[in-house]
Each structure stands twice: as structure tokens, then as C-alpha cells.
């Protein structure tokens, strides 16, 4: 008979059945939940002195979870957003157990009562045109690897794709006809189609020779598909090199997501409507896309320059303020 107080069977059902079969969550969400438990269970095991396979549900107590969240921020130097992401996964596990085992309902409520921490609003970083041009000029396109790296940078800027989306992109999703485009599978298993510039198609063409539609577009030195971590390191390395010629890049974090933000801001400056940008980037809500309108200082400066304040009425000059006694006598 299965011990319903033992945590391991619940974790197995949660990861292999609930979030995959019942919820059909996105692959990245599944990996995020898995990574959270990969960190949480050893932490609780060390704290309680019980091996991971013998942990009980009660040993993942609210105090243990709070200490784990402190460990994530203090020792692992993660942001508040990452801390809240880990807590969301723990909440989901508690809800899964509580709805299937009424005897653990009180424990579930205590775990789910642990609040998310309010995070400071981060400023979105993006590159100006001169900075982006310097970044695109950095790879040596005379070498095969340099040509591949230039194609990756240009594709990220053209499509606004996330690093994971670019790493998983199959050759069959590229359409190189009269109207070149790419089909991208993004968050929430949502498909979107983005047009490709002729320059992007020309940069990608050498990478596709001899590939089948199922092969990935971007491959590493050994011929294996690149990972999102490899693409991140590549973009960051070229950002550091480009900062030697453009000093302003040294103050910015250059990453695949920076290229994505740059795409959105440049589209906005070009007069593309906000709803088209939302579809271009694959955002679910317009609220997410509206952030780019808030961070674009160039557009704000142009709006300020359009204001004519020369004919605005000036406030009337006032005399000295009356004393308290004069004010009271006038009542």
C-alpha cells in the first residue's frame, strides 16, 4: 500500500502526469517546475536530516519553504522575480496534493498562504541603432563560425525570437519564397509568423545546405543543435567585444532578450502599431507590449519637442501670504 504521507510519489505524479498530461503546460514551464523541485528537495533533506526518497509532506513545512526562498535570494543571488517563480511552482505542487488528499488540505493552505514578494519594476534595456550596428559588425563573416554567428544575431533582431525559440527552430519553419517568413513556436505553445528581411534570408542560406526540414537551423562546432545557453553566451561575448568600439555598450547587458527588446522599440519608432508588435513578439496581452512605449526616451523627447508652451498663460503674481491672525479676522 502506498504511503500517502510520503512526498516522492506525489512529486512523480505531479511532474509526469499532472503538468504534462492533465494541464499540458508549456515545455519551459515543465522545466521550471522540475528545476524548482530539484533545488527544494535537497535543501529540505539537508535541513531535516532525512534522505530525499524518505521525505514526508509535513517536512516541507511553511518554515522550510520560507528558508528555501531566503536561500534562493541570499545564497544563489537570484532576483525577486526568480524567487516568486520558485514559489509559484511550490504553490502548484501544494494545490495538486491538497485537491487529491483531503488529509493534507491544512498543509496545502499553509503553503499557499506564503505570499509572493513585491518586486521593483525593472527598466527594459535595448540597443540604439549605432550600438546594434556595431554588434552585427563584430562577427568575422569570412569564417564559417563567424557567418553563423552573424546570422544568429541578425535573426534575433529581425524576428524578436527568444533564445530558446531560436535554438529549437527547425529548417522546415523557414519559408524562403517570394515573401520570406518564419513560423515560431513560442510560450504557451502559441504559433506566430514573422517576415524575414532579404538580408536575413541571405545570411541563413549557407547554414541550410544539406539540412532536412526536421534539422535545427543553428548548430554548434560539433554539429549538434545549439542550446539557449550557447546562444546567450555567444550574444554576450559579441556584446563585450563590440563595447570596445562603442563604450555605451559596456554599461548595458547584451543578451538575446536585449535583441528582442530592441526589435520592439525599433518597430515602435518606425510607426508600427502596438497590436502588430504584440503579434510579432508573441505577447498574450497588450499590457506587456505597452512597456516598450514607456521606455523609449527618443519618442518621449520628440513628443516633448512638439509641445508649444510659448502662449500658455502664466500664473498671476500673488502678494505676500497673510499672517495667521489676519486670516482668522477675515473669517
Q: Torsions phi, psi of 204, nearest 5?
A: -80, -25
Is-contact 216 167, C-beta < 8 A?
yes
Strands (E), the chain: 174-175, 181-185, 191-195
Given this model, what pLDDT does residue 2 score? 61
User: Count of CB atoms within 10 A of residue 28's CB?
Assistant: 14
Angle at 217 between CA 216 and CA 220, to 5 degrees: 85
Is-contact 242 249, C-beta < 8 A?
yes
Torsion angle defined by CA atoms of residues 297, 301, 302 and 305, in that order, rounded to the nearest 10 degrees = 170
Q: Report, as an integer, the average pLDDT of 326-331.
A: 56
The string of pLDDT tens digits covering residues 16-49 is 999 999 998 888 889 999 999 999 999 999 999 9
The string of pLDDT tens digits covering residues 123-150 is 678 899 999 999 999 999 999 999 999 9
CATH class (in words) of the domain with range 7-112: mainly alpha
Kindly name the residue from 86, 150, 162, 261 that is annotated as catalytic: 162
Kindly name the residue from 126, 157, 238, 292 that is annotated as catalytic: 292
Q: Is the pLDDT of residue 322 over 70?
A: no
Kindly name the residue from 23, 34, 187, 219 that is annotated as catalytic: 187
Q: What is the mean pLDDT of the chain?
A: 88
Q: Is the pLDDT of residue 209 over 70?
A: yes
In the residue annotation, 100 being an active-site residue is answered as no
Q: Report, as an integer, the average pLDDT of 262-288.
A: 84
| pLDDT band for position 194 (cuts 50, 70, 90) | very high
- What Cα–Cα distance (Å) separates residue 247 from each residue in 105, 130, 258, 296, 317? 57, 11, 17, 20, 48
Given this model, what pLDDT does residue 12 score? 95
3-state secondary structure of 78: coil
Kindly name the residue from 104, 257, 261, 278 that is annotated as catalytic: 257
In the residue annotation, 232 being an active-site residue is answered as no
The string of pLDDT tens digits covering residues 57-105 is 999 999 999 999 999 999 999 999 999 999 999 999 999 999 999 999 9
Ordered by start, the domain boundaries in the chain are 7-112, 129-305
CATH topology of domain 129-305: hpI Integrase; Chain A (1.10.443)
Kindly name the residue from 150, 260, 266, 278 that is annotated as catalytic: 260
Buried b (16+ CB within 10 A) or exposed e, 230-263: bbbebbeebbeebbeebeebeebebbbbbbbbbb
Q: Report, as an integer, the average pLDDT of 185-209.
A: 90
Q: Report, as an integer, the average pLDDT of 259-272.
A: 89
Is-contact 114 66, C-beta < 8 A?
yes
In the residue annotation, 257 being an active-site residue is answered as yes
In the residue annotation, 292 being an active-site residue is answered as yes
Amino acid at each position: 500500500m502506498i504511503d500517502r504521507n510520503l512526498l516522492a510519489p506525489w512529486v512523480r505524479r505531479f511532474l509526469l502526469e499532472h503538468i504534462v498530461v492533465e494541464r499540458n503546460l508549456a515545455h519551459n514551464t515543465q522545466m521550471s517546475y522540475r528545476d524548482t523541485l530539484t533545488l527544494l528537495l535537497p535543501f529540505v533533506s539537508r535541513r531535516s536530516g532525512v534522505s530525499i526518497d524518505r521525505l514526508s509532506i509535513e517536512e516541507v513545512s511553511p518554515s522550510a519553504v520560507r528558508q528555501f526562498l531566503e536561500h534562493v535570494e541570499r545564497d544563489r543571488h537570484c532576483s525577486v522575480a526568480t524567487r516568486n517563480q520558485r514559489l509559484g511552482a511550490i504553490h502548484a505542487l501544494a494545490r495538486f496534493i491538497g485537491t487529491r488528499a483531503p488529509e493534507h488540505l491544512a498543509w496545502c493552505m499553509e503553503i499557499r498562504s506564503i505570499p509572493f514578494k513585491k518586486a521593483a519594476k525593472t527598466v527594459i534595456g535595448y540597443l540604439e541603432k549605432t550600438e546594434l550596428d556595431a554588434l552585427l559588425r563584430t562577427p568575422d563573416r569570412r569564417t564559417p563560425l563567424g557567418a553563423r554567428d552573424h546570422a544568429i544575431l541578425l535573426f534575433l533582431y529581425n524576428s524578436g525570437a527568444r533564445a530558446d525559440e531560436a535554438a529549437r527552430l527547425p529548417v522546415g519553419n523557414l519559408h524562403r519564397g517570394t515573401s520570406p517568413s518564419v513560423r515560431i513556436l513560442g510560450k504557451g505553445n502559441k504559433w506566430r509568423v514573422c517576415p524575414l528581411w532579404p538580408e536575413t534570408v541571405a545570411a541563413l542560406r549557407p547554414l541550410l545546405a544539406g539540412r532536412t526540414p526536421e534539422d535545427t537551423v543553428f548548430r554548434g562546432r560539433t554539429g549538434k543543435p545549439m542550446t539557449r545557453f550557447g546562444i546567450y553566451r555567444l550574444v554576450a561575448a559579441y556584446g563585450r567585444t563590440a563595447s570596445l568600439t562603442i563604450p555605451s555598450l559596456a554599461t548595458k547587458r547584451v543578451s538575446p532578450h536585449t535583441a528582442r527588446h530592441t526589435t520592439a522599440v525599433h518597430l515602435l519608432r518606425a510607426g508600427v502599431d502596438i497590436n502588430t508588435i504584440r503579434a510579432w513578439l508573441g505577447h498574450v496581452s497588450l499590457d506587456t507590449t505597452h512597456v516598450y512605449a514607456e521606455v523609449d526616451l527618443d519618442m518621449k523627447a520628440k513628443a516633448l519637442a512638439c509641445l508649444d508652451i510659448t502662449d500658455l498663460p502664466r500664473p498671476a503674481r500673488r502678494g505676500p501670504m497673510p499672517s495667521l491672525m489676519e486670516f482668522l479676522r477675515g473669517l
